[in-house]
């Protein structure tokens, strides 16, 4: 049940992308989310160098890093069921509290010089599990604190902050702190960021009807029944089913070349391969941020499903260019375009989940999306390396650029998306 109160529009918030900031609870939520993203970015560096300080062994680092993915994967579906059964606000508060406790424990153990690899493994698993619970709850919570017309802008703001804070500024700060002092100092910074996020979410107001919904959730038959309902709804909703299938296959085709083969391409083509690879990833992240802000600054497209899916598919075409061109600027521009179209699509997708999925099922569908998105990524990464030994790298990148567009056109036709978006317009003011 929504508890959104109308807020007068002022000159400061007439820019569509900033309209959600009119609402107090959204300001608290996006502030906490930004701090949490920042902390995740710093933790990436802290975890790496703390592991190296304990055991300078790639196997040890791989084991600890995989614990985050393990926690995320293990609870990806459970998180959505929980978000639909209990108070989303309480889930968000508990996740931030667990994040704070996990990182604070690592910080304390590191300063006392008694930290061990298993401590870092447990902390990473807890942070991964927290992410699995947080994002379905966050997605389902937004419609209760924002009008429907502000959801696109809110998703755009989150989409712009993620690459900026989690993939750029956070790791940069973590690297500077760890480099200047010790990993424990970086852990302290991460703990402060999580603590600040925890304070902000504590200030969120309980939503009207939250207790009644929680009580009703307690009378449900069981979590497996809820999970099955989410699967059945997805299977019976063509635009949703075919978008998820397309996204899963697109990531299978594209993630391996980007994450595994691109570093080798930059090493072979440029004298300073490591620095070049970092700059290329920065271009990719910048494209995602700009794309998120661009789409959220305008009304939702009338052909929102077509724009989203075809945009994702056509946006990968520059990968074919990367496979054949040795110019840094062309490669950077190509990755910027890929990030731009990816960011735009993610903002539209998040808005569709919040506007076209029943409120009582948003958490489950969001977690199913989360699960599908990461399900085949490990396979993509595992296959890319061996495949490059028998197939020329330019051919792999050409396939990674072209196949998603073919998949996108198939999804639009099979999901009857063109007729669906006309029958369910979202480019008019809600209500």
Q: Which structural domains are found in the chain, ordered by start?
A: 11-201 (1.20.1250.20), 225-423 (1.20.1250.20)
**Residues near 62 by beta carbon (within 8 Å), at least 6 away in sequence:** none
pLDDT of residue 14: 53
Closest CA to 425 of 138, 234, 148, 16: 148
Q: What is the largest CA-CA distance in the chain?
A: 64
As a whole number of angstroms, the distance between CA 275 and CA 159 comes to 25
pLDDT of residue 256: 80
Which two tokens mark 330? 């062309």
pLDDT (tens place) for every residue of the chain, 431 residues total: 445 554 444 444 456 667 888 888 889 999 999 999 888 888 877 887 787 788 777 677 767 777 887 888 888 888 878 887 888 899 999 999 999 999 999 889 988 888 888 898 899 889 989 988 988 888 888 888 888 778 887 888 887 788 777 766 766 676 677 666 777 887 888 899 999 999 999 998 886 555 445 444 445 567 778 778 878 888 889 999 999 999 889 988 988 888 778 877 887 888 776 677 777 877 888 888 888 888 887 888 888 899 999 999 999 999 999 888 888 899 889 989 998 998 888 889 888 888 888 888 888 888 888 777 777 777 777 777 788 888 888 899 999 999 999 999 999 999 999 998 888 887 655 44
As a whole number of angstroms, the distance between CA 369 and CA 392 comes to 33
Which two tokens mark 52? 């190296």
Closest CA to 417 of 199, 245, 182: 245
Q: Do residues 3 and 208 lie in contact, with contact meaning Cβ atoms separated by under 8 Å?
A: yes
| DSSP conformational letter for 205 | P
pLDDT of residue 11: 44
List C-alpha distances in Å: 313 to 49, 195, 258, 308, 419. 37, 40, 15, 9, 19
Q: Do residues 86 and 26 lie in contact, with contact meaning Cβ atoms separated by under 8 Å?
A: no
Burial-class residue 265 by CB neighbours within 10 Å (0-12, 13-18, 19+). buried
The residue with tokens 């802290």 is 46
Looking at 297-392, list the stretches that DSSP marks H as alpha helix, in order from N- to C-terminal side. Answer: 304-315, 318-322, 328-356, 362-375, 377-388
pLDDT of residue 212: 46
pLDDT of residue 175: 67
Burial-class residue 124 by CB neighbours within 10 Å (0-12, 13-18, 19+). buried
Which two tokens mark 237? 């909703």
| DSSP conformational letter for 318 | H
């Amino acid at each position: 049940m929504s508890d959104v109160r109308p807020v007068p529009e002022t000159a400061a918030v007439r820019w569509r992308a900033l309209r959600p900031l009119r609402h107090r609870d959204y300001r608290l939520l996006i502030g906490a989310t930004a701090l949490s993203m920042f902390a995740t970015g710093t933790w990436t560096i802290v975890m790496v160098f703390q592991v190296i300080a304990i055991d300078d062994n790639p196997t040890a680092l791989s084991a600890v890093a995989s614990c985050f993915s393990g926690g995320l994967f293990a609870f990806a579906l459970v998180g959505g069921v929980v978000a639909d059964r209990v108070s989303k606000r309480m889930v968000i508060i508990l996740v931030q509290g667990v994040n704070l406790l996990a990182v604070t424990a690592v910080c304390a153990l590191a300063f006392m010089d008694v930290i061990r690899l298993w401590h870092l493994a447990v902390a990473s698993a807890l942070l991964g599990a927290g992410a699995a619970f947080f994002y379905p709850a966050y997605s389902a919570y937004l419609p209760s604190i924002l009008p429907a017309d502000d959801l696109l802008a809110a998703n755009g703001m989150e989409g712009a902050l993620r690459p900026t804070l989690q993939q750029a500024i956070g790791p940069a700060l973590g690297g500077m702190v760890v480099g200047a002092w010790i990993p424990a100092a970086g852990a302290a910074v991460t703990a402060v960021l999580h603590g600040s996020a925890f304070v902000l979410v504590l200030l969120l107001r309980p939503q009207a009807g939250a207790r009644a919904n929680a009580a009703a959730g307690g009378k449900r038959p069981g979590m497996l029944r809820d999970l099955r309902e989410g699967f059945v709804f997805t299977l019976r909703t063509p635009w949703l089913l075919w978008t998820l299938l397309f996204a899963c296959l697109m990531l299978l085709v594209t993630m391996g070349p980007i994450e595994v083969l691109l570093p080798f391409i930059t090493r072979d083509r440029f004298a300073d391969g490591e620095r070049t690879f970092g700059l290329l990833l920065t271009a990719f992240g910048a494209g995602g941020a700009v794309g998120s802000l661009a789409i959220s600054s305008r009304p939702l497209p009338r052909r929102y499903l077509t724009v989203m899916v075809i945009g994702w598919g056509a946006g990968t075409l520059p990968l074919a260019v990367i496979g054949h061109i040795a110019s840094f600027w062309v490669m950077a521009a190509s990755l910027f375009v890929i990030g731009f179209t990816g960011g735009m699509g993610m903002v539209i997708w998040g808005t569709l989940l919040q506007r076209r999925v029943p409120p009582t099922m948003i958490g489950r569908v969001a977690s199913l999306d989360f699960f599908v998105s990461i399900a085949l990524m490990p396979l993509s990464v595992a296959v890319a390396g061996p495949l490059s030994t028998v197939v020329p790298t330019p051919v792999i990148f050409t396939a990674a650029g072209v196949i998603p567009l073919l998949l996108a056109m198939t999804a639009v036709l099979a999901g009857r998306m063109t007729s669906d978006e006309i029958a369910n317009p979202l480019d008019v003011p809600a209500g």
